[in-house]
A and B are shown apart, each in its own frame.
Chain A
């Protein structure tokens, strides 16, 4: 089952611009996580936001969570070419022991 769905599927921007990706999910959650995957590599955890939090920051990353709309957004400010990667949201459906990953947003940052 695919709980999280990212939007857009692909995003192309210039270095220095901000990148915003969205994630929607279907059921109640304990937390929502964002991961990054460079091409052909494993995923790397970026940030976790709990269901009782509305916003969280980590360096150039800003994540928001709106549980009433069942959606989250990931903002990367002042993008760099090195930010080029796929970004996935992952949610835990309350009562389950695993995370469910979305299909990801592919971000391309051009120099």
Chain B
């Protein structure tokens, strides 16, 4: 059963704490992406990775960090430096970076109070 999994579905944290969101894929895709979605804002790219041990900043990388130590895993850490972390976070993958179809996970809704 191939696809992308994100965990947890809902996450609650206190302000000032770092939190790591999980994203795993078994599609054997090289490229993986993290997006943030706020109401009425569409998707904004946080980070993306074209290949293992490589990643690039997207449009809103400040306050976030990622790693890509394994092909199937691309965790996102929301640090205390992110001023408005409460949002819906979506992970996606594609066979290669660029104009290929992206496959999305179910998302993680993060609430920071």
* Chain A residue nearest in CB terms to B43: A101
- B104 touching A42, Cβ below 8 Å: yes
* Chain A residue nearest in CB terms to B9: A40
B2 at the A interface (CB under 8 A):
no
Shortest Cβ distance from residue A110 to the other chain B in the assembled complex, whole angstroms: 22
Number of CB contacts from chain A to chain B under 8 A:
59
A13 at the B interface (CB under 8 A):
no
B58 at the A interface (CB under 8 A):
yes
Write out the residue numbers on chain B whose beta carbons fall within 8 Å of the beta carbon of A42.
Answer: 4, 90, 92, 104-107
B25 at the A interface (CB under 8 A):
no
Shortest Cβ distance from residue B109 to the other chain A in the assembled complex, whole angstroms: 8
Shortest Cβ distance from residue A3 to the other chain B in the assembled complex, whole angstroms: 11
Number of B residues contacting the other chain (C-beta, 8 Å)? 28
* Chain B residue nearest in CB terms to A5: B42
Shortest Cβ distance from residue A104 to the other chain B in the assembled complex, whole angstroms: 6
Write out the residue numbers on chain B whose beta carbons fall within 8 Å of the beta carbon of A35.
Answer: 102
- Per-residue CB contact flags for chain B residues 89-104 toward chain A (1 = under 8 Å, else 0) read 0101000011101111
Shortest Cβ distance from residue A46 to the other chain B in the assembled complex, whole angstroms: 10
Write out the residue numbers on chain B whose beta carbons fall within 8 Å of the beta carbon of A69.
Answer: none
In Å, the complex CA distance between A2 and B107 comes to 21
- A103 touching B104, Cβ below 8 Å: no
A25 at the B interface (CB under 8 A):
no
Interface set of A (CB-CB < 8 Å, partner B): 1-2, 29-31, 33, 35, 40-45, 48, 88, 90, 92, 96-104
Interface set of B (CB-CB < 8 Å, partner A): 4, 31, 33, 35, 40-43, 45, 48, 50, 56, 58-59, 88, 90, 92, 97-99, 101-107, 109
Closest 10 CB pairs of A and B: A42-B104, A92-B99, A103-B42, A97-B97, A101-B43, A43-B104, A30-B99, A45-B101, A42-B106, A31-B99
